[in-house]
Amino acid sequence: MELAWPTCAPAHCLCLVSTLSLILLVSCTSSSISSQQANSLTKRPAHLKMDQALLLINNELSTEKFDVYWRSDQCYQCLYQTLAIADHRMEHPSDVAVIDTRHPITLQINTTSEKTELCRINYRFREFGNYSLWVKSNHSATKDVTCEIIINQNPGYTNLPIIIAFFIYIAIFICLSLGSFLLRLNTVQNWLCKRINPVETDRLINSELGSPNRADLCSQDAHYVSWNTVPQRLRSLDTFRGLSLIIMVFVNYGGGGYWFFKHQSWNGLTIADLVFPWFVFIMGTSIHLSLSSMLRKGNSRWKLFWKVLWRSIQLFLIGLFVINQNYCRGPLSWSDIRIMGVLQRLSLTYLVVSVLELLFTKPLPDPVPQTQTCFLLQDVVPFWPQWLIILVLETGWLCLTFLLSVPGCPKGYLGPGGIGDFGKYPNCTGGAAGYIDRLVLGEDHVYQHPSSNVVYKTTMPYDPEGILGTINSVVMAFLGLQAGKIIVLYKNQHKQVLVRFFTWSVFMGVISAILTKCSTNEGFIPVNKNLWSISYVTTLSSFAFFLLMLVYFLVDVKRVWMGGPFFYPGMNSILVYVGHEVFENYFPFKWKMQDSQSHAQHLTQNLVATSIWVLISYILYRKRIFWKI
């Protein structure tokens, strides 16, 4: 299909030019940083990789050899791992070790012969740094031993590339917002149209059927996306969806190699753990708005059910065959194909929540009159059958998680296995969730490289998009459905919508505080993305309600932001997600880097790839091309 560029749409042309400029600017700036990085910015030894530092171990004990053990503070109740064995040679370092820098670590020094602890030190090493560990004795005996870490060479500031990129994006956003404001002025629009299309302007001026005022017609095309002519579709929902999707794409492409853009090993949250639940949440919101609209138009529930079922099947098959590579295991084959995945979970979640909505929703929901006093549960009580089913599903998750007997594991085990829990349950990764997946799907058909093996050294396969976690994915989408009900029930009552969103955010946050005891690992049910624990759902839904409240306020209430650039990928979410997975390893989304351990080069590549998908979604939006399944 041939793509035709708009002849007179200054606002859209500005967005297009800004996006292209952004790609070039980020690329050039980050490449410049990359060239300097090898010299003075990071001062990285050639053999070190990202998230690593160099540690020289010096033994000043005259008669003792000792062992150095280490444990990451991120590794909860973990066994110490051997780092090095140091002799009592005084003239040079006894050993050189490579050490992890993602989180603070604890070093423990024990005598080799008696395994007696000599000293212990907690330290946060910085990436690409060069350090020395000095183990000294105040006397000839080893009773008074001191441990000290000395910085041999100050590490570079490896977060500088992402800070520079952040300010570049902020500058582009400010310029784009300022340009958009200026282009809404009639004087500027008319002047630009005369400059962009002088032939048409002269024809209008010189035509005896027209007048110089007819030149204003040119501005109509440029202004057709103004708020006065935008359809009833809520831009905030597509903006929220696009924001989640773009962060997801950036994270999947590598996130510049920064650890905080990767999934948490087990309990806790990173930026990467936020976006998928938000996408599920806004999918639930869209389900209510979409099905309510179609029922209002007279479509039968049975007809809509078959449409929902067919869409779910398509999503599942795309996830199973198109973007399923079962990472790092080679070409796709029936013997080890990964059955579950992101799109598979989305398809099952979409099916369950849509069917639940079709069974109990009202065909013609009536907005609450603005003069009517609304009681607190106005948006909950009429939908009690749906809430009852959700509570039953959640009860099922709790019973399976805490009461199911898993061979070799304690009941209710929520840990990662491996070296966690002091190595007592190395093969119990994920407890009941992992056991159900391995039992139902087969060990070869689940994810083989979970994030837990990075820190906890797990050896069992575990699928973060497994069967049991899908129950809580349904709960997450249902809470998004609740947001859709609020929007419909309080149509054109912005204050009520904002108050409800804020109330739900606080309510979900309180539940999370109770479940987790405001702790990463010590709560009743920790926040865990791998398990999709109920506390993970309540925490992320609290964030989602609050973020949706802000976006709704800025985009649909105050209209100070049109949602760009996130609005455009939000309108073509399936195409962008599938496309970024399929073309991940193709140019211009990926190319060979000069230094594969440079954050600047990784960040450049990942930001350019993500920006290209924003540009593609913008062009498709301008051409009114949307991939709907």
**Domains of the chain and CATH, by start:** 52-153 (2.60.40), 235-582 (no CATH)
Report the sign of the C-alpha dihedral through residues 578, 580, 582, 583, in that order: positive
**pLDDT at residue 478 is higher than 60:** yes
- Model confidence pLDDT, tens digit, residues 271-305: 999 999 999 999 999 999 999 888 888 888 999 99
pLDDT attached to residue 45: 60
pLDDT single digits (tens) 331-361: 667 788 889 999 999 999 999 999 999 998 7
Q: Would you say 59 and 88 are in contact if contact means Cβ atoms under 8 Å apart?
A: yes
Is residue 263 part of the annotated active site? The answer reads yes
Look at the pTM and tell me if it is higher than 0.95: no
Helices (H), 297-341: 301-317
H helices of 118-262, where?
160-183, 186-196, 198-206, 217-222, 235-252
Tell me the average pLDDT across 494-507. 94
Q: Is residue 220 scored above 50 in pLDDT?
A: no
Hey, is 114 helix, strand or coil?
coil
Q: Given 47, 88, 92, 263, which residue is catalytic? A: 263
Q: What is the mean pLDDT of the chain?
A: 82
Alpha-carbon torsion angle 556, 562, 566, 571, nearest 10: 70
Cα–Cα–Cα angle for 207, 209, 213, nearest 5°?
80
What is the pLDDT at residue 469?
Answer: 94
DSSP, collapsed to helix, strand or coil, labels residue 117 as strand
Q: Is 12 a residue whose pLDDT tops 90? A: no
Rounded CA separation 541/449 (Å) = 27
pLDDT tens digits for 248-264? 999 999 999 899 999 99
Q: How many CA atoms lie within 13 A of 363 on its CB side?
A: 8
Q: Which of 541, 608, 618 is nearest to 249 (CA)?
A: 608
Q: What is the pLDDT of residue 43?
A: 52
pLDDT tens-digit readout, 377-395: 778 888 889 999 999 999 9
Give one word for 422, left, alpha or beta, with left for phi > 0 and alpha for psi -120 to 50.
Answer: left
Distance of CA 420 to CAs 144, 425, 437, 530, Å?
32, 8, 21, 15
Q: Which two tokens stand for residue 34?
A: 């990359």
Q: For residues 388, 393, 395 and 397, what is the CA-based torsion angle, rounded to 10 degrees? A: -160
Say if CB 142 and CB 151 are below 8 A apart: no
Q: Record the tokens describing residue 25, joined without a space.
A: 């600017």
DSSP 528: B
- In whole angstroms, give the CA distance from residue 110 to residue 576: 53
Is the pLDDT higher at 48 or at 604?
Answer: 604
Per DSSP, the three-state class of 506 is: helix
What six digits make up the tokens of 471?
A: 């129950």
